[in-house]
Structure 1
């Protein structure tokens, strides 16, 4: 199992994420213990406490790939596409697996459902804190571009934050339960600095590079001010893309979306902000959609 941890670390550290901060902290704390990182600090200098966490269950290390018979459920003419857990670019599964959902599987399911003559409408059944930036906004544009062909509803069970909300915003309607939530319209990038740990262990790391910026962000080195400025500019660009995408999808002024400052809103508060259309339990929302098709 441990030979896969470095690969997972590269998908969390030093990569932009559209994920709820609480979920990011869980993943970071778990990885820190497995990778020998003794202390992790937030940007506000608060220490991130270690958590008991089963990486095998969460990230699917316990068992190899499985055979999936179908990618979505057709319920009375409505294709239900399940989107839950952490979102990743490529999972190789048509359904959520071990706490993750792949943008690749969502895309394939959505395209098949839109082309399925037995499907009259599509439901994005979402309960996700978000995940990777890579692959997210291309999928959002795909779903948004399909509006008008068939009704597309995002029915949350229970919440859609960050990348999960980006997907929800691409639907015609967003229905959130009263204890569910929407928002977290922001981007996070986390740099891990191993330089002191390497020095303490008696090791020296020498980089031989071509290009002054080749090793910017390398965990073996402290993050320079110049590198931080460049990465901040990239994150700002991604954040602007997120804001503009939600503004387009929800017909909201970009300044209103930006003013949320990545806050999360529960139930009715999300509707008041224009981030959702109604507060309703998932089963009631599904029946409401069926009534529109009768």
Structure 2
């Protein structure tokens, strides 16, 4: 993918915005954008995060890419209205983090959900015959409850993912694992509380984060602007109005339904009230 670019932007700060749930499409866009930041040799990156989190693997890939880029580019993350769970995780890839005092953040933990429709299926007289190669091949099947061994297997999976999350936060924020575990129990907290816990470095707006990134890059904050790397719209989306015809609330609801269906049975770094 070729991003629009002019030489004069080398003295500007790149800006990438992360909004909504983190999944495959978000990961693809961000990895392409981060590659462009490196190739075009932007001196600094402002990473604006407004996300409740998302899938574990996608969050980890974004974090790893940010961590690699940090060797060449100054990165400052700005937590917006909400930066929770997987949003926190990718923020750990930044060199510094700024949050608003009222930012909703935290929710450090893992969740895995499945649907059990066994009673409903019994009521309407529907049953399934399953042929499987092993006792756990249909784990989290929607037509039956979990067995105790299955619960143990899934809990071990969740615990491993949780340890990865805690270890990353501890290393990124120079905290001990025990310190992180003391507040990494799924709770949410404000930006002010996050500062006190050591999750963020400063309180401030996105503009404050932009100025800090400029200073770190040796640029004049008063004369340095951001060049936003936006996700290009497909030709089809430009021709067809699609979801732009519906209300934002309805469109967001459709996005959530799609996300829930596609991630059922997957461990998630996600906060959803």
TM-score range, shorter chain: 0.7 to 0.9
Are 2:71 and 1:148 equivalent residues in the alignment?
yes
Are 2:51 and 1:112 equivalent residues in the alignment?
no
**Residues 144 and 249, structure 1, Cα contact 8 Å, conserved in 2:** no
Residue aligning to 1:30: none
Q: Which has the higher contact order (CA 8 A, sep 6+)?
A: 2
**Residues 53 and 84, structure 2, Cα contact 8 Å, conserved in 1:** yes
Residue aligning to 1:270: 194
- Runs of 4+ aligned structure 1 residues displaced above 6 Å come to none
Q: In the comparison of the two structures, how many residue pairs are matched?
A: 214
Distance 1:79-1:268 versus aligned 2 partners, 3 A rule: same
Residue aligning to 2:17: 82
TM-score in terms of structure 2 length? 0.74
Are 2:27 and 1:103 equivalent residues in the alignment?
yes
Distance 1:75 1:85 in 2: 29
Residue aligning to 1:199: 122
Are 2:178 and 1:243 equivalent residues in the alignment?
no
Distance 1:140 1:69 in 2: 22
Q: Say what the alpha-carbon RMSD is for the aligned residues.
A: 2.0
The unaligned stretches of length 5 or more in structure 1 are 1-66, 92-101
What is the CA distance between 1:68 and its match in structure 2?
9.8
What is the CA distance between 1:210 and its match in structure 2?
1.8
The unaligned stretches of length 5 or more in structure 2 are 220-273
TM-score in terms of structure 1 length? 0.68
| Larger fraction in helix | 2
5 Å-filtered alignment, 1:40-79, equals: 77-79=12-14
Secondary structure of the structure 1 residue equivalent to 2:163: helix
Distance 2:181 2:49 in 1: 23
Secondary structure of the structure 2 residue equivalent to 1:251: coil
